[in-house]
Every structure is written in C-alpha cells, then in structure tokens.
Amino acid sequence: MQNRRVVITGMGALTPLGNTLNEFSTNLFNGLSGADLITRFDTSKFKTKFACEVKNYDPLNYFDRKEARKMDLFTQFAMVASEEAIIDANIKVNETNADRIGVIWGSGIGGITTFEQEVGGFAMGDGTPRFNPFFIPKMIVDICSGYISIKHGFRGPNFVTVSACGSSTNAIIDAYNYIRLNQADIIVSGGSEAAITSAGIGGFNAIKALSTRNDDPKTASRPFDKDRDGFVMGEGSGALILEEYEHAKKRGAKIYAEVCGGGMSADAYHITAPHPEGEGAIVVMKNTLKDANMQPHEIDYINVHGTSTSLGDASEVVAIKKVFEDHSYNLNLSSTKSMTGHLLGAAGAIEAISCVLAIEKQMVPPTINHSTVDEDLDQKINYTFNQSQSRTINAALSNTFGFGGHNFSAIFKKFD
C-alpha cells in the first residue's frame, strides 16, 4: 500500500513571544527574548527567579469563568492554540467527516499547577480530604485531546503522547503516521505545557538544569555560547493541522508545507544527560532522513534542540556533524529556545511551527544572546547567531530530545 501524503493546513500559537500565530512569527524573526522575572509565585527563595511566561493572558478572554475553573492552565493553552489552528484551516465538521478527524496532543508534565494546589491544600489542612471534584480531570495529561475533541466533535483517533521534552514532536509524528496509513484524514496535533510553578522551577533547580542568570534574564538562554549555564523555562502551546493531501486539495485548503518524515530513537544512556557522542541523536536523524527518502544534502535548516546546556548543545553538534558530514557547513542551525525558553513537552510543536514559518518566509530565525565564542564547538557551522538570515529553505528538520533519552526528529518540506 502506498503511503498517503500529509500536509499542514493550519497553525496556532500561544507563546512567550506572542498570543497568536502572527505575533509569534513577527517576534520570532525579530529576535525577541520572551524571558523576564516570574510573576506567578514568590521566587525570593529560589535559585532561578525568571522564566519565559505567556504575557497578558486572561482566561476570561477565551472561556467563561465556570469553564475556566474546570481546566488547568496547560489545557487552557491547548484549547486556545488549537482553536486558532482549526479556524486557520477552515475545518468544518459534520456527520460525514467527524469519524475521520482526530486529535493527537503532547505534554510532558500536564496539570502540575492543579496538583500543587490540591495536594498543597490537603497537606496544610487537618487531614480531611477536601479535594476539588475536577482535581483528577484537570491534572491528567491526556485531558487536552479530550477537551479539543469534545468542543469540536472530532471522533477520530484521540490520545496524548508523554515523552518528556519530545512529547509534541512525538504527537506530530504519530499524527503523520495515522494519516498516511489511512486511519484519519485530519488530525489536530501539537502540545502544551504550563510548568512555571514553584514545584516546576524548584524541581529543575534541584537537578541544576536551569540558568541562574537572575541579573540579566533576557539574555539567559544562550545556546552555543561559552557562558551558557542552563535552560530557561518556557510555557505555552502550539497547534498544527495535519491533513491528507488529496483531502486538503479537494476542499481547497491553504497548504503551508508538507510533512515528509519522522523518526524516533533512545539514547539508552542516562535519565537526564544526553549521550556525549550524540549516539541517539545520530540514530534519530538518520531514521528521519530514511523515512523521508531524503539525503542529508537536501536539508537546508535544522531547528536544533539547543537548550543552552553545556552537555546538550555540544552533543547535538557532534551528532549533526556525523550525520551531515561536509554538508554541515552548508546548513543553517538555530535554537529558537534562545527566545521562547524551553517549553518542555510543548517545545516540539512550537519548533515545528518555527520550521514551517522559516520555509514560508525563506528565512532562518536566529539564535539570540550569543556574545562569547565556545572554542569547543565547531565555529565553521552557521548557528544563525543574533539575527535572522534569508536563504533558500526547501526542507527543514526539527530535533527534540527528552529526559529518559527520548529522541524525535521530523522533516518539513516546501510544498510542491
């Protein structure tokens, strides 16, 4: 059986760089930093006091008060971004197509805000179990796909992938596979995360993963810079509408790009550290190129995982050089986490959108905040430091790697 072609027909974004796709796109290519001091809780006793929060977000702009109280913030973010994508794609659901439209979402942590509030309230009480009846449905990670399907009447495949920071790329690859194997015609995919909480920041501080550059938050996320000292937490949501090409063509849908390959692998090395020689990253990029039936020289841009950690950035460069060899020096690499921060389970969705926008604009978004050369990294590689760069982009690869050694890559191609 010949696999079906899969295209992207809609996108939505709620991010530290903007609360709509257009705002996100403008600020992404202008190199805006989304980092600032945390407003969600008192950080006076925390090692890290800043993050990339979503700005000017009021749930009552999107939900009535009763509805908003039933959803954790990560679910609210998912609903907002997916709604924008569904409208962008002009999807009309009816009895003839509802069974062929699904939702495959990604989140690494889920309702941590709700968990903190409910368990914290119980711990501070007299031992009487007074839990919110929505505690469990607000907390569980799979609730996002359920809410999206219920609101829009989508009765196709419906689940959430949990693969740490690779969760939403995992979701996009699964959506791609379900469509090309004729299990659905349209799938709403992407991811959401809202882990800027005392437990979220405190937990990542405990494993020394976060930057502590409290005197200069906006430049704290600095991938490939010698003075990088950890990642900056981000939050938000990205949504993409994946659709079978003939189905999209028949209804006259706008096509942003084609999804043409996806790969997965495991480091089998360490629970939090990447393999120093990038072995899992090498395997996943090779798997993705093979799946897309493409050669390394056909890739123009890589949106790297690039979290701004010493080990992670170095091992990814090693892996790219081993896979792409001499072509490594013809590529543009960039880490959009330098602007958005690390959205954990939602990172892959936002970075997939960044790849599609790069193809649409024929422009590479920058890796901002670079000031000091790291002589241990190959400086002949183009990391797209500090400013966007115009170039021909026919195909872009997105890397996302997660705790536990989970690796995912996807290729997006200019639609032909």
Neighbours of 209 (CB within 10 A): 18
Catalytic-role residue among 52, 144, 165, 355: 165
Q: What pLDDT, on a 0 to 100 scale, did the predictor assign at position 86? A: 98
Q: How far apart are CA 395 and CA 415, in angstroms?
A: 9
Tell me which residue has tokens 């929060």: 53
Positions of the chain with pLDDT under 70: 1
Q: Which CATH superfamily is domain 6-250 in?
A: Thiolase/Chalcone synthase (3.40.47.10)
Q: What pLDDT, on a 0 to 100 scale, did the predictor assign at position 3? A: 86
Q: What pLDDT, on a 0 to 100 scale, did the predictor assign at position 1? A: 61
CATH architecture of 264-413: 3-Layer(aba) Sandwich (3.40)
Whole-model pTM over 0.85: yes
Q: How far apart are CA 86 and CA 101, in angstroms?
A: 11
Residues sharing a CB contact under 8 Å with residue 264, sequence separation 6 or more, in sequence order: 170, 173, 284, 287, 406, 407, 408
Strand partners, 8: 242, 257
Residues of the chain with CATH 3.40.47.10: 6-250, 264-413
Is 247 marked active-site? no
Encode pLDDT of 37-56 as tens digits.
999 999 999 999 999 999 99
Of 352, 306, 343, 358, which is closest to residue 77 (Cα–Cα)? Answer: 343
Q: How far apart are CA 35 and CA 31, in angstroms?
A: 12
Catalytic-role residue among 305, 355, 370, 406: 305
Of 264, 270, 341, which is closest to residue 306 (Cα–Cα)? Answer: 341
Of 367, 411, 415, 361, which is closest to residue 390 (Cα–Cα)? Answer: 361
Is 270 marked active-site? no
Instruction: Say if CB 367 and CB 313 are below 8 A apart.
Output: no
Catalytic-role residue among 144, 247, 260, 342: 342
Residue 5 DSSP symbol: P
Instruction: Say if CB 386 and CB 366 are below 8 A apart.
Output: yes
Residue 326 DSSP symbol: G
Is 342 marked active-site? yes
